[in-house]
Amino acid sequence: MTLIATQSLTKTYGGRVTALADLTVAVEPGIIGLVGANGAGKSTLIKILLGLIAPTSGQVSVLGIDPTTDPAAVRARVGYMPEHDCLPPDLSAAELVTHLGRMSGLPRTAARERASEALRHVGLYEERYRPVGGYSTGMKQRVKLAQALVHDPDLLLLDEPTNGLDPAGRDAMLALVHRIGTEFGISVLVCSHLLGEVERICDTLVAIDGGRLLRADNISAMTSATDVLAVEVSEGTEELAARLAELKLPVARDGRLLLVPLADDGTYDLILGAVADLDLPLHRLDQRRHRVAELFATRELTNA
């Protein structure tokens, strides 16, 4: 089943500002990364998916339901974590998440149980009885995630979940999102302006820019064929390049580095053998995974 599908989705504000332009994309269940710069239209897309705002034109379907005609049915099965601060400071996390669980239609006891379960899953234990106002940013982000999980949705829409977190907090949040997507069996749409961040955890990547679709694809299809080995020797770079060319390896120069496409493990042996034969001082030999960003960069270059 298609998780999210849009057809020529367009949203303009006041007829002048274009937030989304002719966006057509279809993604399968899993963890989906939605990347784009600030103002690319990520939040607008999420709000359309939730049925909070109506598109100017085009069609959209979430979990097979049209949010423009039946927003309540979509929202019942979707959990939303907004980008901005949205927690009343004087309530405890347990009270807030229980209340929001009830707002999603859970009976009183079920709401209380699911709230403490959700808070436990995001890693909040005893502190859940303290007022949210005293929480760190990382804890607040976890509460926001817990309230999106409390009613056991089939899809989570996370708007910049790592916003304001330190590097360790980012890693923890991304690991949590990955766990939700893989172990909990809940599909996740993660929004971020940091490509390097979401590409680590998602199966599918959707990149938008200025409201237009740059690319949407399976992440393995995007990166698999592009791994390269970077070789650096302190001297004799020319000789090594010549030797590797003799071995029928397509060598490319990048400053002091030699870049060799990684075909299989044999490539390592060939390079090490060549370095040993020439008796060169090997400085480094490492696998360089092409960042998806580079893919977009080359793609834009070829388009230009």
Residues that bind another protein (CB under 8 A): 47, 50, 52-53, 71-73, 75-76, 78, 80, 82, 84-90, 95, 99-100, 102-108, 110, 114, 117, 121, 147, 151-152, 180, 183-185
The residue among 146 and 233 lying less far from another protein, judged by its C-beta, is 146
Q: Min. distance of Cβ 207 from another protein in angstroms?
A: 24
Q: Min. distance of Cβ 72 from another protein in angstroms?
A: 4
The residue among 129 and 184 lying less far from another protein, judged by its C-beta, is 184
The residue among 7 and 68 lying less far from another protein, judged by its C-beta, is 68
Q: Residue 293 burial (CB < 10 Å; 0-12/13-18/19+)?
A: middle
245: which 2 tokens?
A: 């060319």
Q: Min. distance of Cβ 180 from another protein in angstroms?
A: 8
Q: Min. distance of Cβ 76 from another protein in angstroms?
A: 5
The residue among 41 and 243 lying less far from another protein, judged by its C-beta, is 41
Q: Min. distance of Cβ 11 from another protein in angstroms?
A: 13
CA pseudo-torsion sign 255, 256, 260, 261 = negative
Which residue, among 289, 154, 169, has the nearest Cα to 229 in the 3D structure? 289
Q: Min. distance of Cβ 104 from another protein in angstroms?
A: 5
CA distances from 210 to 45, 87, 142, 199, 284 (A): 12, 30, 30, 20, 40
The gap from C-alpha 139 to its chain's centroid, in whole angstroms, comes to 20
CB 151 within 8 A of CB 114: yes
The residue among 47 and 243 lying less far from another protein, judged by its C-beta, is 47
The residue among 100 and 271 lying less far from another protein, judged by its C-beta, is 100
Strand order in the sheet with 252-254: 252-254, 257-261, 228-233, 282-288
Distance in Å from the first CA to the final CA of the chain? 36
Instruction: Classify residue 51 as left (phi > 0), alpha (psi -120 to 50) or beta.
Output: left
Report the C-alpha gap between 175 and 161 in whole angstroms.
12
Report the C-alpha gap between 215 and 222 in whole angstroms.
10
Q: Min. distance of Cβ 204 from another protein in angstroms?
A: 22
Q: Min. distance of Cβ 197 from another protein in angstroms?
A: 23
The residue among 15 and 185 lying less far from another protein, judged by its C-beta, is 185
The residue among 86 and 278 lying less far from another protein, judged by its C-beta, is 86
CB 161 within 8 A of CB 141: yes
